[in-house]
Amino acid sequence: MKGLVIALEGQDGTGKSTVINAITGYFDEMGLDYINAREPGSTNIGEKIRDILADKANKDMDYHTEALLFAASRSELYDKVIKPNVCKGTSVILDRFLLSSLAYQGIVRGLGTDEVMKINDFFLEGFRPDLTILMDLDAKKSYERLKKLGELDRIESLGEDFQEKVHLAYLKLYEENHMKLIKLDGTKDKESLAHEALDEVKKLMKEC
């Protein structure tokens, strides 16, 4: 059987890691093989690209360059991590994936979702995650959390207004029904979030 690919999405500070931990905890309990990956990064080249993207010295980065660098990191991840693991039956739990580029670069940076999709489909060959979980939380709350987590990177330090634009962009993508996308209410407690996410994952497993 092929492995599943599940991606967590939402602006920074929405609680993606809480849900990732719940899913991997369930996989552990069931004795299922999985690996975690984060975007950008999780490959040798991807981590180098992550450093360039996070570096505050690169404030003047052109938005097309930004979109292409995220795509380049994703191409490495798809080729070196996602494809081989899925083929051997290992699931891949992703901290961000394609929807991040549609929200941040496509909508908020204004490059267009179709254009961003095009540069990604250049290497994704039509691949989409089996499930994408969007953490829905307003930017006031998520930004409060984010600031407590430590030093902010180049994109995070663009401020609360930017994060609210990202939040609205995600909601727009949700309304437009991009991919197999479900939305969880980020104001709920950890247990409820874990429960709701696992219900979806279990449904997915039954379909296989």
Residue 13 is labelled as binding a ligand? yes
15 is in an annotated binding site: yes
| Residue 29: CB minimum distance to ligand TYD, A | 26
38 versus 165: smaller Cβ distance to ligand TYD:
38
Local structure of 107: helix, strand or coil: helix
Instruction: Please indicate if the annotation marks 12 as binding a ligand.
Output: yes
Q: Is 186 annotated as a binding residue?
A: no
DSSP 81: I
Percentages helix, strand, coil for the chain, rounded to the nearest 5?
60, 10, 30
Residue showing the smallest CB distance to ligand TYD in the complex: 104
Closer Cβ to ligand TYD, 32 or 112, answer by number:
112
Listed in sequence order, the residues at least 6 apart from 199 whose beta carbon sits closer than 8 Å to its beta carbon are none
**Residue type for position 132:** T
Angstrom distance (rounded) from CA 99 to CA 154: 19
Rounded to 10 deg, the angle between the 63-77 and 113-124 helix axes is 30
Shortest gap between Cβ of 13 and ligand TYD (angstroms)?
8
- Is 203 annotated to bind a ligand? Reply is no
Q: Is the peptide bond before 40 cis (omega within 30 degrees of 0)?
A: yes
Q: Would you tell me which residues interact with ligand TYD (CB under 6 A)?
A: 12, 38-40, 70, 96, 100-101, 104-105, 153, 155-156
Nearest CB to ligand TYD, comparing residues 2 and 120: 120
Taking the least distance from each CB to ligand TYD, the nearer of 102 and 197 is: 102
Q: Which residues are annotated as a binding site for ATP?
A: 10-17
